[in-house]
A and B are shown apart, each in its own frame.
Chain A
Amino acid sequence: MKTTWLLAAAAVVGLSARAHADATVGKPAPEFKAADQDGKVHTLSQYTGRIVVLEWTNSGCPFVRRHYKAETMEKLSAKLAKDDVVWLAVNSTPSNTPADTKKWMKDEGFAYPTLQDSDGKIGRAYGAKTTPHMFVIDKAGTLRYAGAIDNDPRGKSAAPVNHVDAAVSALLAGKDPPVASSEPYGCTVKYK
């Protein structure tokens, strides 16, 4: 054990000075400003005081399709909406258009907005790697969970643990998320 004063000092300095490309759990979530499929502009700061869930999505990805077929996102967002939780989908696929999103919304029957991030700005700021890739931001704007929607990449588990549900429920109860990060799974986000 060679931890020393210098190391301690370095750790203190390092913690405050470390610049990270990706959003870091426990740190303020990156601010964003983007229009949804209807042209309505959303910013993170406008939702201060409410828990925000970000869902990276791509209607062409089989993992996203599987979850929409099982209504994972629709059911959870409806449940959490009762507790005033904001659910925003984000589509960073360059070829995706607002019309595509509207059609997908109609086909799948969900109503929460999808931010049109064709240039991948929000995706890169958050370090979104997969679809789906989930982020949970608390009422103070701090990122509290980043990772997979659940612990079942192959969709074969009888009782998958939904990490986002667990994280938001814990935050609503004034507790820390039981799991603060997990390996996201799915298709790569198709950045330009």
Chain B
Amino acid sequence: MAFPVALLFALAGPTTLADGKVTAEALADASEVRAGDTFRVGVLLRMEPEWHIYWRNPGEAGMSTELTFRGAAADVGPVAWPVPTRILSRDGFITTYGYEGEVLLTAPARARAPGELAVDVSLLVCKVDCILGDATLALPIAVGAETRRSAAAARFDAEAARVPRPAAGLTTRIVPEVVRPGEAFTVEIEGACARPCRPAAAPFFPYRTPSVDLKAQGGRVDGERFAVTVAGTAGPDDPGADQRIAGVLAYDDAPPLEWSATLRRALVSPAPAAPPLLGLLGLAFLGGLILNLMPCVLPVLAIKVVGFARSAGERKLAHGAAYALGVQGALAVAAAAVLVLRAVGTEVGWGFQFQQPIFVAVVGGILVLLAENAFGLFELGVPSTGAVAAVSRARGLARSAGEGALAVVLATPCSAPFLGTAVGVALASPAPVVVLVFVALGLGLAAPFVVLTLASGARRFLPRPGAWMGRLKEILGFALLGACAWLLWIYGRQGGGGADLVVVWLLVAFGGWLVARSRRRGLALAAAAILVGAWGYRTLAPRAADAGLSWRAYDEGAIATDVAAGRPVFVDFTADWCITCKVNERVALDTDAVRRKVADTRAALYRADFTRPDEPIRRALARFRKAGVPMYLVYSPASPDAPEVLPELLTENRVLEALDRASQRRIE
């Protein structure tokens, strides 16, 4: 098998592209390769001084370099990308990633048959101006009896050391855990090196993920442990699923690592897509119709219709219209009130959208109260004596209009659930929709009266008032609770747990019950109970990762290493069920002053979570003669074996002083 190897290689050789700014040469790490053996192929790219080409992710501008291997001589795998350099625009506004000088982009290959590979190179090379370059290179593959290293093999080996390997043993923390479209987040990557390692000045290079922007913030190193912070922004598009984010961790004195993690994405809840307008209006109309069957409306309506049919004579249409207008007028006031409330609320920064967890919670709370009302726990009343008197003095059409308005006022005690729900939906809708919803509601409320006055025969179909009206109201109460269940589902889709929401609604329900049980004193009591409950909940609720303070899991070895490295160490022994612990964490640990002090003293923070039994933590507690949590230890590098034990009722000042003491001894 004597191939004219020299002749084949003569076909290859350096080619220039992009106006001579780049020289490209196809290479293999084997001068001869046995069929079926793996070897490496690649393209050596040399740039003119100060010109650069781009990495697999070009960054905020540019275009990635692309290699395509064609031909039957070998099967070629994906390109291995060495760590790039970060290239900033003159003003630092634009970050790109690429290569200056020269780079060898390689790919694994398996030899098949003697022949040639064609390599298409497509790249963009920039200094200030940019030039596109395209070329097709030839790479002869000499398939023979054995695999022999080529002269270029050493170059391949050197470049391989700059190609990241998948990392093991990294911990990644993403805050917030679930990311919404358009939201910013931070990624903390922590790990250990085999030997002391130093993150490079540009410690992180992100791979490209659709609709996610990642940018390195900085790296810290601490003995053999390191941490890299990455700032991320999710794009406005909803990816519809969790996403894989990945990148390269680069070091000054250790091989690069390839990192990846799952970015949990909140799915945009379907609610904001707004129920179709026609359906919404139909529901409002139906709601208005049902209002006529409420215990406080039906008896009045029945008497009025009978009386009216006997006396009114021929101006029935006019009276019916006046009644309907009266209903609309009263509801227009309600609609206006909603719009004003929203305008004022938006001004002070409230968000009236179902995407807002707070809005979901408040609407749900109101629904819970209204359900209690429907179950007859308490009555919502409107002082209407004056209005009734005024209406009875009026005559003619004015009287019919007044009766329409009065029907709304009278209906309030039982219509509140419907109005409340309508208001809830209305708050999240554009102003014209708000008005239309109320108009439809009013039409529904007025419809039976108008129909009955016009066609007196229809009176026979009017149901007789009775106890069934109360039942109906109670059944509607369950419908309101059903709406709460729906809100809970929305909340879950937004990335919320839901348990916290149920607790808050329970508090609201409890407050309502208290008010209903003991009228006068109850009011103050209920308010106090709700406030205390809400405060307690705020305090006890699992917190959003103590924004700013980064706690590590309790690890005696790591603590000893940190102290030996000259850092003060603060250890928080805590548990989810420990109220004192949670209060301390809120008032004395998670504060701006402590955050600053931790940064100043370079203190390391460890958290020993005793929520579930844990033997090392139990032993540590026993060593300091504690039966349980909380316990706070501050280690000073000056006396690594005798940490200071802080009091169980912690204050911010005690923490600050202890951290000062621990760090000052080190300096002295």
Contacts and interface: CB of A to CB of B under 8 A. Distances in A.
A and B found bound together: yes
Interface of A: 1-13, 15-16, 18, 24-26, 60-63, 66, 120, 124, 129-130, 153-154, 179-181, 183-192
Contacts of B122: 154
B357 interface: yes
B542 A124 contact: no
Given A26-B236, A191-B93, A1 B495 contact: yes
Interface of B: 58, 60-63, 66, 89-91, 93-94, 96, 122, 124, 126, 128-132, 176-178, 182, 184, 208, 211, 235-237, 349-351, 356-358, 361, 494-497, 500, 504, 537-538, 541-545, 547
A100 to B, nearest CB: 14
Contact of A5 (B124, B504, B547): B504
A62 B541 CA distance: 56
Given A1-B496, A2-B497, A181-B211, A188 B182 contact: no
A3 B495 contact: yes
B49 to A, nearest CB: 19
Nearest to B129: A60
Contacts of B538: 5-6
Nearest to A8: B357
Closest 5 CB pairs of A and B: A8-B357, A25-B236, A7-B544, A188-B61, A1-B497
Contacts of A7: 176, 544
Given A6-B541, A154-B66, A192-B90, 17 more contacts: A1-B177, A4-B544, A5-B537, A8-B496, A11-B356, A16-B351, A24-B182, A24-B236, A61-B130, A63-B132, A66-B132, A129-B60, A181-B237, A187-B61, A187-B129, A189-B94, A191-B89
A18 B184 contact: yes
B131 A2 contact: no
A27 to B, nearest CB: 9
A187 B130 contact: yes
A50 B178 CA distance: 36
A75 B651 CA distance: 69
A185 B59 CA distance: 9
B235 A129 contact: no
A12 B235 contact: no
B26 to A, nearest CB: 20
Contact of B89 (A3, A11, A188): A188
29 contacts: A1-B177, A3-B494, A3-B495, A3-B496, A4-B541, A4-B543, A5-B500, A7-B176, A11-B356, A11-B357, A12-B356, A24-B236, A61-B129, A62-B130, A62-B132, A63-B130, A63-B132, A129-B60, A153-B63, A154-B63, A184-B61, A185-B62, A186-B61, A187-B124, A187-B129, A187-B130, A188-B126, A189-B93, A191-B90
A185 B63 contact: yes
Contact of B235 (A180, A186, A192): A180
Contacts of B94: 129, 188-189, 191
Contacts of A1: 177-178, 495-497
Contacts of B129: 60-61, 187
B232 to A, nearest CB: 14
Nearest to A181: B235
Nearest to A26: B236
Given A8-B496, A180-B237, A187 B66 contact: no
Looking at B61, B132, B504, B545, which has the most chain A CB atoms within 10 Å of its CB? B61
A37 to B, nearest CB: 22
Nearest to B540: A4
A18 B231 CA distance: 14
A2 B237 contact: no
Given A7-B544, A188-B126, A179 B237 contact: yes
Contact of A25 (B63, B96, B130, B182): B182
Contacts of A61: 129-130
Contacts of A18: 184
A15 B94 CA distance: 25
Contacts of B235: 25, 180-181
A124 B89 CA distance: 13
Nearest to B89: A188
B219 to A, nearest CB: 23
B647 to A, nearest CB: 26
B93 A62 contact: no
A3 B266 CA distance: 12
Contact of A4 (B91, B93, B349, B500): B500
A187 B127 CA distance: 10
A12 B355 CA distance: 10
A15 B544 CA distance: 16
A189 B537 CA distance: 51
